[in-house]
Amino acid sequence: MTAPFGRRLCEVAANQATGGYRIFSLLDREGPEPEPGQFYMLASEEGWGEGGGRPFLPRAISVAETAPAKEGIRLDFLIEGVGPGTDRLCELEAGEGVWVTGPLGNSFATPKQVNPVAAGAILVGGGIGIAPMAIWRRHLVEKGIPLRVLLGFRNEEHSGGLDELFCSGGTLCPDVGLATEDGHAGHQGYVTDLLVMMLAGDDAASAVVYSCGPPAMLEAVRALCSEHGVACELAMESPMACGFGACFGCAVPKPEGGYMRLCVDGPVVRGDAIAEVAHA
């Protein structure tokens, strides 16, 4: 599946606060439905570079969910204002224009595609990295693949998106387990504590782990899976100017030497395809 060539103007359908984040929805009249793990390059039509200054480059944002709309599809993103680009996206209102290129990059593979003997999936999301886990969870449920979801948050403010993406009828979906650093919900500690317990189980080897979250968490997930001989796929992030292989900015080291371009060789990467997830 290829993306439509070039950028297209989409309309903001909604932009709602959720904890410290925003659920940012676009109406995409032309694009194909994205696969879980894919991302888009987003830039507002107004107030983005034309007067000079910043933001200048489009921002790469993973898709959190998609649904049919009256004309086309709705694309949902989870966005935190952490700089001039995401701040600008956060302040957009319904009806404003957004330049969109995508869907870009690869997507998650089913447990059987990753490992022929794997039967189930363990999804591990941290903070704003829960976004691609949401669309992937829905696809797995629709495919009838057994799964368990582990989500970790620093605190309540940083659990934005949880209610919209992992709850049904106001209740947390039964396959979702929580860990919070401040202990306001679920296990007090890291989400990787929950993963350690799951990987210690007898049937862990028949699962594939899928993860997205802060780099330190992703590296912990990669190392744990490697230690337990469990295959994993990580949705990663890297500084990216273009999203289609042109700028060579999003280099990620390969274990055998050299670099991959995360925009086209990722953003979903097998745990054994990278040396480690670089983190501060």
Partner 1 sequence: MPDFCGIQLEHPVINASGTYDAIVARKVFGDELLEDFPFSAFVSKTITPEPRAGNEPRRIWETPAGMLNSIGLPNKGLEGFLAEDLPQLADLPVPLIVSVMATNREDFSRMVADVAARDEVAAIELNVSCPNVHSGLIVGENPAETEALLKVLRPLTEKPLIVKLTPNVAAPEVVAVAAESGGADAVSLINTLKASAIDPATRAPALAAGHGGLSGPAVRPIALQQLRVVTAVTEIPAIGMGGISSGADAAEFLAAGATLVAVGTESFRDPKAGSRIANELETGVYQRSLRI
- How far apart are the C-alpha atoms of 227 and 235, rounded to whole Å? 19
Residue 49 in the binding site for partner 1 (CB under 8 A): yes
Residue 257 in the binding site for partner 1 (CB under 8 A): yes
Distant-in-sequence, close-in-space partners of 51: CB < 8 Å, separation ≥ 6: none
- How far apart are the C-alpha atoms of 105 and 244, rounded to whole Å? 8
Looking only at residues 219 through 238 of this chain, which bind partner 1 when binding is defined by CB under 8 A?
238
Which listed residue (20, 32, 120, 249) binds partner 1 by CB under 8 A?
249
Which listed residue (189, 201, 239, 255) binds partner 1 by CB under 8 A?
239
CB 115 within 8 A of CB 141: no
47, HSE (Cβ side, Cα atoms, 13 Å): 14
Minimum Å gap between C-beta 145 and partner 1 is: 28
Residue 278 in the binding site for partner 1 (CB under 8 A): yes
Count of beta carbons in the 10 Å neighbourhood of residue 157: 12
Task: Find the part of the chain contacting partner 1 (CB under 8 A) among 49-57, 112-120, 188-196, 203-211.
Answer: 49-57
Residue 256 in the binding site for partner 1 (CB under 8 A): no
Residue 247 in the binding site for partner 1 (CB under 8 A): yes
Task: Spell 52-66 as b/e; 16+ CB within 10 A means b.
Answer: eeebebbbbbbbbbb
- How far apart are the C-alpha atoms of 264 and 247, rounded to whole Å? 11
Residue 242 in the binding site for partner 1 (CB under 8 A): yes
From the list 238, 259, 267, the residue with the least C-alpha distance to 103 is: 267
Size of the site for partner 1 (CB under 8 A): 40
Which listed residue (64, 104, 151, 204) binds partner 1 by CB under 8 A?
104
- Burial status of residue 174 (CB atoms within 10 A of its CB: 0-12, 13-18, 19 or more): exposed
Between 186 and 214, name the residue whose CB sits nearer to partner 1. 214
**Contact string 5-24 vs partner 1 (x = CB under 8 A):** xxx-----------------
Residue 52 in the binding site for partner 1 (CB under 8 A): yes
Residue 53 in the binding site for partner 1 (CB under 8 A): yes
Residue 95 in the binding site for partner 1 (CB under 8 A): no
Distant-in-sequence, close-in-space partners of 37: CB < 8 Å, separation ≥ 6: 62, 105, 106, 107, 108, 132, 136, 233, 235, 267, 268
What is the binding site for partner 1 (CB under 8 A)?
Answer: 2-7, 43, 49, 52-58, 85, 99, 101, 104, 238-242, 244-253, 257-259, 261, 264, 278
